[in-house]
């Protein structure tokens, strides 16, 4: 008898949290469709959603642990894997100390409940060599909001109130394709169109005329890496023209005079040539922004993974604060998460680390080294050298800057443990690959993203199909790896989890501000016999602002109540709550923190340097149908035209003598690759664009579909020594390159790694 059912959940493949219905018969996924009854997404989905089925069905997805042996890969049992891994790691730690084992977690972990167990594993590891994946993504924003509001991230991120705004200024983000980031909103294209439909404006600032730009009221090209100057020139205009109004932030800020002083020389005229945006446009956009009845400035990767990521993020925030749009309907607002994960975080105000990374002195944040320091920390001898790594759902040999150097570094490790379900470019170096179930086989609650959503919502994701009987979820694997490092290898998961939970409950009760008289014992006994992250989420929901307060508010939320609403619960539009957010030492929003002020001379130096304007700059590009590097083995998502092309403007193409459809060699300080050329007027002259996550040409991987759609790896070009000074974030956008025609014969000389030659 077939057991047919419809399972409701949230799609885990980007930050939009679209509701989906998965049609299942027995343990087969028949179909995935948008959930029209989801109050937040109302049926919207994008093509990536099919990866729920395709990933599940992929015959090359690993289902059992693999161990490297002299005779090749060998399947082993989970208990054997835990036992052998703990023996190997403990031996390395005994000989070389705790810093000899590093750890690095990638993007998909954010969408897995196991993310809650990352600090647990981190503590068991006790190493200074934890590497920060934020340093190829969100870190400048984390540092900027941390310094201004006091943290913790992500609770201090104010998101555009997109459903009410009258003016949305998008600087360096492409939500029509990415579907939003640090801004959770299903149906980004629809919401953008609605801003215009209600008489508002959407203005896009981007070196590429993007899919978002096409939906917008207006688009301006900008030279990569110059946004900080552009945004500070708008702030200067606000001061000069008497347009500064603090609104809800009045009386809650420090340093307004300092900001005025800092931006005085960033006049629109002084920065226009540098940015490639005319002074008239800069002034007009600043005036319109200030005059709008609700305006929101939003920046994402284009203002983060660039030369001045922290300053550009500061500029974005200043625009919102100086025009009174912080904490205002139609401006930018702080979501109120039903399960506030920040209850588990430190309440100490955010500070930048004083120590730097061991080898090249890159900035550390939150005790973590930036991902760009990974290779050198493995390759450079001395105390604290990394000799073993634990990777959690990441493919740094395709996603991190200067991935060719990482290749050598990973090859030289004494032990590599990768929790991953593909044998790919990175995991091929592993000694143990630990595949956790496919997303459809696991429950989920997007606790992190609901801190960033444009409406307050709560939704449980149900398991669609049962995982194989002996296939532990990622949180259990992490718990067992941690136990192994503490010498508790072989202990029962429940016993381990109870002691972890007791600690989490202690922190949560200590941080609790909602409910009087709550005790740890009450929390622990109130959650009965449950286990794992579900128990943690249940605690957070009960303790949270809509919670039942462990009986103090009987009609409030519990996990059971959330589960009882299969399509999700809408908790209403964003509401003002600035007073609850500020967590700085001064109790005020710090408008001019010293790390920003101290970085201004670097920006002024860049503006004054004449050579800058001559450089050809490489930026990235995202693909609607795949996410980062791990969906390229799914036939439905990679069929059709090759998206991995080098986009070049017609002006540059004719100047350089490269034709559409030909091949070009692109060379940076660290590497050189050959890529097919697409000539398009969508690119600003002086800028070329190549997507990331490709370059699947290595024999040893088990990715036969991806190999047939290999593309080239742009991170052979990005430079791990180029980073944003305050945060240590890699410059992935704005890499100086030379571009030249690639004669067929030259291209054939290229070595492994998508016809790329190291230099
Ligand atoms: N040049 C350039 N580089 C970039 C970017 C850019 O724009 N330009 N973007 C950067 C950004 S923002 C990010 S977030 C990073 C992303 O880079 P990564 O964090 O490395 O993410 P992915 O490339 O998607 O690799 C995810 C890995 O996790 C595995 N995986 C996926 N889902 C699961 C799962 O459910 N369980 C298990 N066990 N394994 C899973 C996949 O097999 C894959 O190996 O790339 C960064 N790199
Ligand atoms: N379909 C799809 N969706 C995704 C992903 C994916 O791989 N595919 N990845 C997910 C992840 S991990 C993330 S972090 C988000 C990212 O979400 P977004 O940041 O919205 O995505 P990007 O496409 O990287 O957009 C960055 C934009 O900045 C522009 N840009 C580059 N350099 C500069 C600059 O110096 N200044 C300015 N002003 N603009 C610049 C680029 O042209 C690009 O349009 O997307 C997520 N969603
Ligand atoms: S936009 Fe696409 S990838 Fe993102 S959650 Fe929705 S369906 Fe999934
Ligand atoms: Mo990302």
Query: Do 716 and 657 sit in the same domain of this protein?
Result: yes
The CATH number covering residue 529 comes to 3.40.50.740
Q: How far apart are CA 678 and CA 658, in angstroms?
A: 10
The atom number, within ligand 1, closest to the CA of 400 reads: 47
Ligand 1 centroid–CA 572 distance in Å is 32
Contacts of 434-437 spanning 24+ positions with Cβ under 8 A: 434/65, 434/81, 434/477, 435/61, 435/62, 435/63, 435/64, 435/65, 435/66, 435/471, 436/112, 436/114, 436/471, 436/472, 436/473, 436/474, 436/477, 437/467, 437/468, 437/471, 437/473
Residue range of the domain that includes 278: 139-334+578-597
**Any domain includes 605:** no
318-337 confidence digits (pLDDT tens): 999 999 999 999 999 999 99
Residue with the smallest CA separation from ligand 2 atom 30 is: 302
The CATH number covering residue 639 comes to 2.40.40.20
Element (H, E) at 214: helix 211-215
Given a contact cutoff of 8 angstroms between Cβ atoms, the answer to whether 191 and 320 are in contact is no
**Any domain includes 753:** no
Ligand 1 centroid–CA 295 distance in Å is 33
Q: Torsion-angle region of residue 578: left (phi > 0), alpha (psi -120 to 50) or beta?
A: alpha
516-535 confidence digits (pLDDT tens): 999 999 999 999 889 999 99
Ligand nearest to the CA of 439: 1
Query: Do 107 and 220 sit in the same domain of this protein?
Result: no
The predicted pLDDT at position 756 comes to 39
Q: Is 117 in the pocket of ligand 2 (CB under 6 A)?
A: no
Query: Do 592 and 655 sit in the same domain of this protein?
Result: no
Q: Is 185 in the pocket of ligand 3 (CB under 6 A)?
A: no
Q: Is 109 in the pocket of ligand 3 (CB under 6 A)?
A: no
Query: Do 282 and 400 sit in the same domain of this protein?
Result: no
Query: Do 146 and 102 sit in the same domain of this protein?
Result: no
447-504 confidence digits (pLDDT tens): 999 999 999 999 999 999 999 999 999 999 999 999 999 999 989 999 999 999 999 9
**Any domain includes 83:** yes
Locate tokens 């588990």: which residue?
Answer: 344
Q: Is 364 in the pocket of ligand 3 (CB under 6 A)?
A: no
Residue with the smallest CA separation from ligand 2 atom 34 is: 224
The predicted pLDDT at position 612 comes to 83
The count of C-alpha atoms lying within 13 angstroms of the C-alpha of 548, restricted to the half-sphere facing its C-beta, is 16
Q: Is 625 in the pocket of ligand 3 (CB under 6 A)?
A: no
Measured CA to CA in angstroms, residue 223 lies from 220, 669, 687, 735 at distances of 10, 20, 8, 12
Which residues have CB under 8 Å from 154's CB, separation 6+? Answer: 142, 182, 448, 451, 452
Given a contact cutoff of 8 angstroms between Cβ atoms, the answer to whether 11 and 45 are in contact is yes
Ligand 2 centroid–CA 453 distance in Å is 18
Residue with the smallest CA separation from ligand 3 atom 2 is: 46
The CATH number covering residue 29 comes to 2.20.25.90
Between residues 507 and 754, the one the model is more confident about: 507
Burial (0-12, 13-18, 19+ Cβ within 10 Å), 528: exposed
- How many domains does the chain contain in total? 4
Element (H, E) at 543: helix 532-543
Report the residue among 374, 440, 478, 628 best suited for mutation to probe ligand 1: largest number of ligand atoms under 8 A from its CB.
Answer: 628
**Any domain includes 304:** yes
Given a contact cutoff of 8 angstroms between Cβ atoms, the answer to whether 557 and 547 are in contact is yes
For 93, the 3-state DSSP assignment is helix
Which residues have CB under 8 Å from 758's CB, separation 6+? Answer: 404, 671, 672, 716, 751
Residues constituting the chain: 759
Pairing mode, strands 28-34 and 66-69: unpaired
The predicted pLDDT at position 750 comes to 40
Which residues contact ligand 1 via a Cβ below 6 A? Answer: 106-108, 112, 133, 136-137, 301, 393-396, 398-399, 419-422, 424, 435-436, 439, 620, 627-630, 692-693, 714-715, 718, 732
**Any domain includes 321:** yes
Radius of gyration for the chain, computed over Cα atoms and rounded to the nearest angstrom: 25
Three-state secondary structure string covering 247-281:
HHHCCCEECHHHHHHHHCCCCHHHHHHHHCCCHHH
The predicted pLDDT at position 528 comes to 87
Query: Is residue 227's pLDDT more than 80?
Result: yes
Ligand nearest to the CA of 623: 2
Query: Do 13 and 80 sit in the same domain of this protein?
Result: no
Average pLDDT over residues 53-69: 98
Residue with the smallest CA separation from ligand 2 atom 39 is: 172
pLDDT band at 751 (very low <50, low <70, confident <90, very high): very low
Ligand nearest to the CA of 47: 3
DSSP-derived letter for residue 453 is B
Tokens standing for residue 490 = 């072989």
Of 57, 83, 100, at which residue does a domain stop? Answer: 57
Contacts of 561-565 spanning 24+ positions with Cβ under 8 A: 562/338, 562/445, 562/458, 562/459, 562/460, 563/460, 563/462, 565/458, 565/459, 565/460
For residue 152, whether the previous peptide bond is cis, meaning omega lies within 30 degrees of 0, is yes
Between residues 395 and 750, the one the model is more confident about: 395
**Any domain includes 206:** yes
Q: Is 629 in the pocket of ligand 2 (CB under 6 A)?
A: no
Nearest to 715 by CA among 625, 629, 613, 615: 629
The predicted pLDDT at position 753 comes to 41
Query: Do 90 and 217 sit in the same domain of this protein?
Result: no
**Any domain includes 121:** yes
Ligand 4 centroid–CA 137 distance in Å is 5
The atom number, within ligand 1, closest to the CA of 422 reads: 42
DSSP-derived letter for residue 466 is P
Task: Looking at 617-711, list the stretches that DSSP marks H as alpha helix, in order from N- to C-terminal side.
Answer: 635-638, 650-656, 704-708
Q: Is 664 in the pocket of ligand 3 (CB under 6 A)?
A: no
What percent of the chain lies above the pLDDT cut of 70? 98
Given a contact cutoff of 8 angstroms between Cβ atoms, the answer to whether 311 and 228 are in contact is yes
Query: Do 532 and 431 sit in the same domain of this protein?
Result: yes
Residue with the smallest CA separation from ligand 3 atom 7 is: 45
Query: Is residue 748's pLDDT more than 70?
Result: no
Tokens standing for residue 611 = 């050579």
Which residues have CB under 8 Å from 372's CB, separation 6+? Answer: 135, 136, 362, 400, 401, 402, 720, 721, 723, 728, 730
Q: Residues of 733-755 as b/e, b for ≥16 C-beta within 10 angstroms?
A: bbbbbebeebeeeebeebeebbb
- Degrees, nearest 5: CA angle 247-248-253: 90
List the beta strands (DSSP E) in 574-682: 589-590, 616-619, 646-648, 663-667, 671-679
The atom number, within ligand 1, closest to the CA of 398 reads: 23
Query: Do 515 and 552 sit in the same domain of this protein?
Result: yes
Ligand nearest to the CA of 622: 2
Query: Is residue 744's pLDDT more than 80?
Result: no
The predicted pLDDT at position 743 comes to 81
Ligand nearest to the CA of 394: 1
The atom number, within ligand 3, closest to the CA of 14 reads: 4
Sheet harboring 167-171: ordered strands across? Answer: 218-220, 201-205, 167-171, 295-299
pTM above 0.95?
A: yes
Average pLDDT over residues 683-704: 98
The predicted pLDDT at position 759 comes to 29
**Any domain includes 756:** no
Report the residue among 206, 319, 731 best suited for mutation to probe ligand 2: largest number of ligand atoms under 8 A from its CB.
Answer: 206
Q: How far apart are CA 701 and CA 73, in angstroms?
A: 11
Centre a 10 Å sphere on the Cβ of residue 451 and count the other Cβ atoms it contains: 25
Query: Do 515 and 382 sit in the same domain of this protein?
Result: yes
Average pLDDT over residues 703-715: 98
Q: Is 11 in the pocket of ligand 3 (CB under 6 A)?
A: yes
The atom number, within ligand 3, closest to the CA of 47 reads: 2
Query: Do 13 and 121 sit in the same domain of this protein?
Result: no
Query: Do 113 and 146 sit in the same domain of this protein?
Result: no
Q: How far apart are CA 111 and CA 95, in angstroms?
A: 36
Q: Is 16 in the pocket of ligand 3 (CB under 6 A)?
A: yes
Q: How far apart are CA 161 and CA 651, in angstroms?
A: 38
Tokens standing for residue 377 = 């920390």
The predicted pLDDT at position 754 comes to 41
Query: Is residue 752's pLDDT more than 90?
Result: no
Report the residue among 619, 631, 634, 736 best suited for mutation to probe ligand 2: largest number of ligand atoms under 8 A from its CB.
Answer: 619
The predicted pLDDT at position 1 comes to 59
Report the residue among 9, 11, 180, 192 best suited for mutation to probe ligand 3: largest number of ligand atoms under 8 A from its CB.
Answer: 11
Phi, psi of 390 (to 5 degrees): -110, 120
The atom number, within ligand 2, closest to the CA of 212 reads: 44
The CATH number covering residue 310 comes to 3.40.228.10
Residue with the smallest CA separation from ligand 3 atom 4 is: 14
Given a contact cutoff of 8 angstroms between Cβ atoms, the answer to whether 241 and 260 are in contact is no
Q: How far apart are CA 218 and CA 202, in angstroms?
A: 7
Residue with the smallest CA separation from ligand 1 atom 7 is: 620
Ligand 2 centroid–CA 513 distance in Å is 36
Average pLDDT over residues 166-192: 98
DSSP-derived letter for residue 470 is T
Ligand 1 centroid–CA 113 distance in Å is 17
Tokens standing for residue 168 = 């949305």
DSSP letter string, 342-397: GGGS--SPP---S-B-TTT--B-BTTBEEGGGHHHHHHS-STT---EEEEES--HH
Q: Is 300 in the pocket of ligand 2 (CB under 6 A)?
A: yes
Query: Is residue 758's pLDDT more than 70?
Result: no
Q: Torsion-angle region of residue 231: left (phi > 0), alpha (psi -120 to 50) or beta?
A: alpha
Locate tokens 């688009």: which residue?
Answer: 219
Q: How far apart are CA 365 and CA 378, in angstroms?
A: 19
- Degrees, nearest 5: CA angle 404-409-413: 150
The predicted pLDDT at position 315 comes to 98
Q: Is 85 in the pocket of ligand 3 (CB under 6 A)?
A: no
Average pLDDT over residues 506-515: 94
Burial (0-12, 13-18, 19+ Cβ within 10 Å), 155: buried
Given a contact cutoff of 8 angstroms between Cβ atoms, the answer to whether 334 and 581 are in contact is yes
80-114 confidence digits (pLDDT tens): 999 999 999 999 999 999 999 999 999 999 999 99
Task: Looking at 610-690, list the stretches that DSSP marks H as alpha helix, in order from N- to C-terminal side.
Answer: 635-638, 650-656
């Amino acid at each position: 008898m077939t057991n047919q059912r419809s399972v409701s959940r949230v799609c885990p493949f980007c930050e939009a949290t679209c509701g989906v219905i998965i049609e299942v018969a027995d343990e087969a996924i028949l179909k995935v469709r948008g959930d029209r009854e989801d109050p937040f997404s109302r049926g919207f989905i994008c093509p990536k959603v099919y990866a729920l089925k395709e990933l599940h069905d992929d015959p090359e997805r690993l289902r059992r642990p693999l161990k490297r042996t002299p005779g090749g890969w060998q399947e082993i049992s989970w208990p054997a894997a835990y036992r052998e891994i703990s023996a190997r790691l403990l031996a390395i730690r005994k000989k070389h100390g705790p810093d000899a084992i590093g750890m690095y977690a990638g993007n998909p972990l954010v969408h897995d409940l196991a993310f809650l167990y990352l600090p647990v594993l981190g503590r068991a590891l006790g190493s200074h060599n934890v590497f920060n994946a934020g340093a190829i993504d969100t870190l400048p924003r984390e540092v900027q909001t941390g310094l201004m509001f006091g943290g913790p991230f992500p609770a201090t991120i104010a998101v555009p109130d997109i459903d009410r705004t009258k003016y949305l200024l998008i600087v360096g983000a492409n939500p029509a394709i990415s579907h939003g980031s640090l801004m959770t909103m299903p149906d980004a294209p629809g919401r953008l169109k609605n801003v215009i439909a209600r008489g508002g404006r959407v203005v896009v600032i981007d070196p590429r005329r993007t899919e978002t730009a096409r939906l917008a009221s207006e688009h301006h090209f900008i030279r990569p890496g110059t946004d900080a100057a552009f945004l500070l020139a708008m702030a200067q205009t606000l001061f000069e023209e008497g347009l500064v109004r603090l609104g809800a932030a009045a009386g809650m800020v420090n340093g307004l005079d300092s900001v005025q002083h800092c931006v005085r020389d960033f006049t629109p005229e002084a920065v226009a040539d540098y940015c490639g945006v005319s002074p008239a446009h800069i002034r007009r956009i600043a005036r319109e922004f200030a005059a709008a009845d609700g305006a929101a400035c939003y920046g994402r990767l284009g203002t983060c993974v660039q030369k001045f990521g922290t300053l550009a993020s500061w500029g974005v925030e200043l625009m919102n604060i100086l025009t009174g749009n912080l904490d205002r309907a139609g401006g930018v607002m702080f979501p109120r998460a039903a399960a506030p994960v920040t209850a588990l975080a430190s309440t100490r105000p955010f500070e930048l680390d004083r120590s730097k990374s061991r080898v090249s002195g890159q900035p550390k944040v939150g005790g973590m080294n930036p991902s760009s320091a990974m290779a050198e920390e493995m390759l450079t001898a001395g105390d604290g050298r990394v000799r073993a790594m634990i990777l959690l759902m990441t493919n740094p040999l395709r996603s991190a800057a200067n991935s060719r150097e990482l290749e050598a570094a990973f090859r030289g490790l004494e032990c590599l443990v990768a929790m991953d379900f593909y044998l790919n470019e990175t995991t091929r170096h592993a000694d143990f690959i630990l595949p956790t179930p496919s997303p459809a086989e696991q429950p989920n609650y997007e606790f992190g993203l609901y801190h960033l959503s444009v409406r307050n919502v709560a939704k449980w994701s149900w398991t669609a199909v049962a995982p194989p009987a002996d296939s532990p979820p990622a949180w259990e694997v992490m718990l067992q790896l941690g136990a192994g490092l503490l010498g508790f290898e072989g202990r029962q998961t429940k016993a381990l989890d109870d002691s972890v939970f007791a600690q989490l409950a202690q922190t949560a009760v200590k941080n609790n501000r909602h409910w009087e008289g709550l005790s740890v014992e009450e929390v622990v006994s109130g959650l009965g016999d449950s286990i794992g992250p579900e128990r943690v989420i249940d605690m957070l929901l009960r303790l949270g602002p809509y919670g039942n307060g462990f009986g103090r508010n009987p009609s409030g939320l519990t996990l059971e109540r959330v589960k009882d609403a299969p399509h999700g619960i809408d908790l209403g539009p964003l509401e003002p709550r600035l007073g609850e957010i500020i967590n700085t030492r001064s109790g005020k929003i710090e408008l001019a923190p010293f790390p920003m002020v101290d970085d201004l001379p670097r920006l002024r130096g860049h503006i004054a340097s004449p050579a800058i304007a001559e450089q050809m700059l490489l930026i990235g590009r995202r693909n609607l149908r795949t996410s980062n590097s791990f969906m390229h083995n799914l036939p439905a998502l990679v069929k059709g035209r090759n998206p991995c092309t080098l986009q070049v403007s017609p002006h540059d193409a004719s100047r350089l003598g490269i034709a559409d459809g030909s091949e070009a060699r692109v060379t940076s300080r660290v590497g050189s690759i050959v890529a097919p050329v697409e000539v398009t007027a969508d690119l600003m002259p002086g800028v070329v664009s190549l997507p990331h996550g490709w370059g699947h040409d290595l024999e040893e991987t088990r990715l036969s579909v991806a190999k047939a759609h290999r593309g080239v790896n742009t991170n052979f070009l990005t430079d791990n020594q180029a980073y944003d000074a305050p945060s240590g974030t890699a410059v992935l956008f704005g890499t100086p390159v030379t571009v030249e025609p690639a004669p067929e014969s030259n291209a054939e000389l290229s070595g492994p790694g998508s016809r790329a030659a190291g230099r």
